[in-house]
Structure 1
Amino acid sequence: MKLFVRNTILLPAIALSSCGHGHKEGEQVELPAIQVETQTVERKEVPVFEEVVGTVRPKKEAQVAAKVTGRVLTMDAVPGMKVKKGDVLARLDVRELEAALERAEAALAQAERDVTRFAKLRESNAVSEADFEQAEARRQMAAASVRETKIMVENAVVEAPFDGTVTRKFLEPGNLASPERAIFSMEDSSLLQLEIGVAESLAGEIELGDSFHVEISDTGFDGTVSEISPSADVGSRTFSVKLDLPNEEALRAGQFGRAFLPRGMRDAIAIPETAIISRGQMDYVFVAEDNTAKLRIVRTGSSGDGSTEILAGLEPGEEVILSPPSVLQDGQPLTGASEAENYPR
């Protein structure tokens, strides 16, 4: 890299092209020499990436259903509501279950009286040991029936299985709920993944724990492979791979994302991004040639790590100007040359 030292005072570009101020009409205004930094264009190995598209999905999601069958009495949550684990989402009509619980408790009370009575009769040998054991078994079965019915009554209250957000509701009050019919769907949006479909040629090179660059809504992240499907999808012939994403406020389930999977290295020309000037749909660079700045149209390729690949417009050995000043013009002279130090290539 070279440093061109400016010997004259910089003038605004607009003043350089104006008439008057001591110049005759049609007289060409001489541009002052300007100081710039340059870097020699070189061919080097650059990484090749395969871009794979996917969708952001919650790592934890669930269809929430009642554990018992019954009519929905109240809906205590709506889509979009954030809930904590154990919060009540819905309640079922439990009148029939409560009646069943009363019957079970009555049966248990009777069974306990029978056991007490048979125990006294056994002491006087009025009943056999087998009769007493049957009474005790009836008591135990009645107690189990009470416990079971109590659990069913408790399960008529539908609770959130984890901290998260209610995303959809499928039933309304009055509808019949059952373990086979979901009432709500939930997701934990604090834990998101990018799910991508990877071709067979790439899937074999991916391992759990690998980290890849991911772009979502023009923002870059690092995604870590947490799941790899052992079999390919029959329709797409791709393997599902899930990458854990950082907990970022900008990320939302359902967003479109891209993952960049490495495919090795190749020989290419790459220059610092700071050397490139974008105007509309065109990209330009300034080249230092014979102590003069020359504006050059270039065709750019992929970018990464502060560098951009140049597909056309530059050759190895040329000197490209880094961070060209806004006043720099095509044909402007550069003066002096010395090696600039400590600039990354």
Structure 2
Amino acid sequence: SSRFIMSQFVALTLECKSRILGAQRRRQTAFRLTLRKRRRAGPQGESAQPQGFGVQTLVRPAILNGGSVRMRSRRQHVHVLSLPLHFMLFALLFPAWDCGRPADTEGGQTAGSAGGSSRMSTGEVIFPVTIAVAERKNLVKQVRVSGVVRARREVEVLARTDGDVVEVRKRNGDFAHAGEVIVRFDDRELRLALDRAETGLLGAQIEYKSLGSSEAVFRGDSARLQERLAEARLRLAETEEAFRQGKMSPEEYLRLKRTYETDVAYYSVHREDVMAIKSGLSQARETYQRAKMDWEASQVKAPFNGYIADCTVRQGMRMRGGEKLFKLVDASRMYVDVDVLETEVGKISPGSRAEVVANAFPGRAFSGIVAAINPVVDPQLQTVKVTIELSGTHPKTKAAPADWGRARLLAGMFATVSVETGILRDRLLVPREALLVRDQRTLVFTVEEGLAKWCYVEVGEQNEEYAEIKSGIKVGDKVITSGHYTLAHDAKVQVGSPGENRVAE
């Protein structure tokens, strides 16, 4: 285009001028050094002609006055010589100065090239561009927010007993099944305590059997005990009536009530319960259960299927009860928690479709839906917590996925979420990259017969990828999406993509 040619000529002129002035400064410096040498050499050297510097071709004759030198530079001649070149370039480019922008017609379109006012020959200057076809399709409106990926469940597994670690069977990233032993403590003392508790339980069971064959223990369900229990209940009813009538003090009422509760507990107990208490079976069973729990705590198991994470425990380490051993991550389903502005949360509803792109995998999108919307607004940030449930990203449960670590979402990843808020159907759309703004008006470049055509357009709704065109172009037009920032009307273009090079038709 004319602007491109003009910029090239101006750049060339400035470069030539810079080189001429640089050479002049270097020669002047050499001349000053020569004069200094002549002063040091004395009167005999003043009349000597400097050799190798071409002084008379650079400056006018110098006037020596009292050891001082006046030198008139020929820089003025350089400026004078460069002026004709500037005037010549201006005269050459002025007629084509406004040829880069087409004249407007009444409908906002560019004037055709038949009149000859908006089309000029660009010679062999060809601009490489890429294009897209304007199509009618649905425009999906979205709300774009950022959030953090989390797993379905994440728990920190803690040590439940004190002891030395003797074995660690899993490492970070390993998959563990529910109930599988991950860490094992030294259990020798705990095993001894369990054996003692088991022996005590056996002795109590023998004593219990002995009492079962003896008549020393009464039967709690005998008729005599039932009569005593009925008498105790009658006394309690009489006591409550006397207390309501004010014939009994509160202290005496509480004493008689405690006596009644003791009688009920004594007369209602079963014979087997009395035998268990007298034989020590109940206490022995409790001691055994506690010793068994302590021994089982020496073997730390996975509470559910998941991946081992943040495991820092090593064999030989001394751990105390309550200290963290590792984290278990259930990645069977992933979620993304995002903060949506309160002004936009009304556009989102549970079940709305969403698209998630993690920063770690910019070329891969994960689909999901809005699973939950927090009914409370954060008073400081003025945002609402929204949970996105992802689909199709959970790994296998019986074995680690083959692509683990390559294209798999991990808990804690930062992601960008686009939540669908509405669909505008049957709209003329072009990529947003095709839009340009010049003279405070929006335009696109189309390709016709290998030439770029400047077209003003009216833009409607937009999303992150596409823009609706209300007027200016039609369906099927080829709009330029890259390489169009320096284009002019009727500039010759070459359409292609990486690895492709063809002329637009």
How far apart are residue 156 of structure 1 and its match? 1.9
* Cα displacement string for residues 13-60 of structure 1 (whole angstroms, at most 9, x for unaligned residues): xxxxxxxxxxxxx9979xxxxxx99769x9x99554321111122122
2:334 and 2:456 map into 1 onto residues whose CA distance is 39
1:275·1:286 contact (CA, 8 Å) conserved in 2? no
Extract unaligned runs of 5+ from structure 1.
1-25, 30-35, 333-345
Is structure 2 residue 281 aligned with structure 1 residue 136?
Answer: no
Letter paired with 1:176: M
2:421 and 2:470 map into 1 onto residues whose CA distance is 25
Is structure 2 residue 393 aligned with structure 1 residue 236?
Answer: no
Q: Which moved more, 1:222-231 or 1:157-166?
A: 222-231
Q: 1:337 is matched with which residue?
A: none
How far apart are residue 211 of structure 1 and its match? 1.6
C-alpha distance 106-276 of structure 1, shift in aligned 2 (>3 A):
same
Which SS does the other structure have where 2:329 is aligned? Answer: strand
Extract unaligned runs of 5+ from structure 2.
1-120, 125-130, 220-270, 394-402, 437-442, 481-488, 493-505
1:38 and 1:79 map into 2 onto residues whose CA distance is 50
C-alpha distance 58-133 of structure 1, shift in aligned 2 (>3 A):
closer
Q: TM-score of the superposition, structure 2-length normalised?
A: 0.46
1:275·1:285 contact (CA, 8 Å) conserved in 2? no
**Number of residue pairs aligned between Structure 1 and Structure 2:** 279
Q: 2:483 is matched with which residue?
A: none
Q: 2:477 is matched with which residue?
A: 321
Is structure 2 residue 301 aligned with structure 1 residue 145?
Answer: no
Which SS does the other structure have where 2:429 is aligned? Answer: strand
2:173·2:309 contact (CA, 8 Å) conserved in 1? yes
Is structure 2 residue 417 aligned with structure 1 residue 259?
Answer: yes
Is structure 2 residue 356 aligned with structure 1 residue 174?
Answer: no
Greater helix proportion = 2
1:285·1:321 contact (CA, 8 Å) conserved in 2? no
1:323 and 1:274 map into 2 onto residues whose CA distance is 11
C-alpha distance 191-132 of structure 1, shift in aligned 2 (>3 A):
closer
* Cα displacement string for residues 173-211 of structure 1 (whole angstroms, at most 9, x for unaligned residues): 433242x33210121334211221122233344333222
Letter paired with 2:148: T
1:317 and 1:115 map into 2 onto residues whose CA distance is 99
C-alpha distance 239-68 of structure 1, shift in aligned 2 (>3 A):
farther
Structure with greater contact order relative to length (CA < 8 Å, sep ≥ 6): 1
Q: 1:335 is matched with which residue?
A: none
Q: 1:13 is matched with which residue?
A: none
1:330 and 1:190 map into 2 onto residues whose CA distance is 57
Matches within 5 A, 1:55-204: 55-120=148-213, 122-123=214-215, 127-129=216-218, 134-137=274-277, 138-172=280-314, 173-178=316-321, 180-204=322-346
C-alpha distance 199-85 of structure 1, shift in aligned 2 (>3 A):
same
How far apart are residue 241 of structure 1 and its match? 1.7
Greater strand proportion = 1
Which SS does the other structure have where 2:357 is aligned? Answer: strand
* Cα displacement string for residues 312-332 of structure 1 (whole angstroms, at most 9, x for unaligned residues): xx88133473388xxxx9467
Letter paired with 1:212: A
Which SS does the other structure have where 1:169 is aligned? Answer: coil
Q: 1:14 is matched with which residue?
A: none
Which SS does the other structure have where 2:171 is aligned? Answer: coil
Q: 1:294 is matched with which residue?
A: 452
CA RMSD across the alignment: 4.4
Which SS does the other structure have where 1:230 is aligned? Answer: strand
2:122 and 2:420 map into 1 onto residues whose CA distance is 56
C-alpha distance 186-298 of structure 1, shift in aligned 2 (>3 A):
farther
Q: Which moved more, 1:215-224 or 1:295-304?
A: 295-304
2:347·2:421 contact (CA, 8 Å) conserved in 1? no
Q: 2:355 is matched with which residue?
A: 213
C-alpha distance 45-75 of structure 1, shift in aligned 2 (>3 A):
closer
1:164 and 1:259 map into 2 onto residues whose CA distance is 26
% identical equivalent positions: 21
Matches within 5 A, 1:13-52: 46-52=139-145
* Cα displacement string for residues 62-112 of structure 1 (whole angstroms, at most 9, x for unaligned residues): 111234444433222221222222221101222332222122122212212
How far apart are residue 309 of structure 1 and its match? 1.6
How far apart are residue 158 of structure 1 and its match? 0.8
1:302·1:309 contact (CA, 8 Å) conserved in 2? yes
Which SS does the other structure have where 1:114 is aligned? Answer: helix
Is structure 2 residue 146 aligned with structure 1 residue 53?
Answer: yes
Q: TM-score of the superposition, structure 1-length normalised?
A: 0.64
How far apart are residue 242 of structure 1 and its match? 1.7
1:274·1:323 contact (CA, 8 Å) conserved in 2? no
1:148 and 1:298 map into 2 onto residues whose CA distance is 83
2:294 and 2:212 map into 1 onto residues whose CA distance is 33
Which SS does the other structure have where 1:166 is aligned? Answer: strand
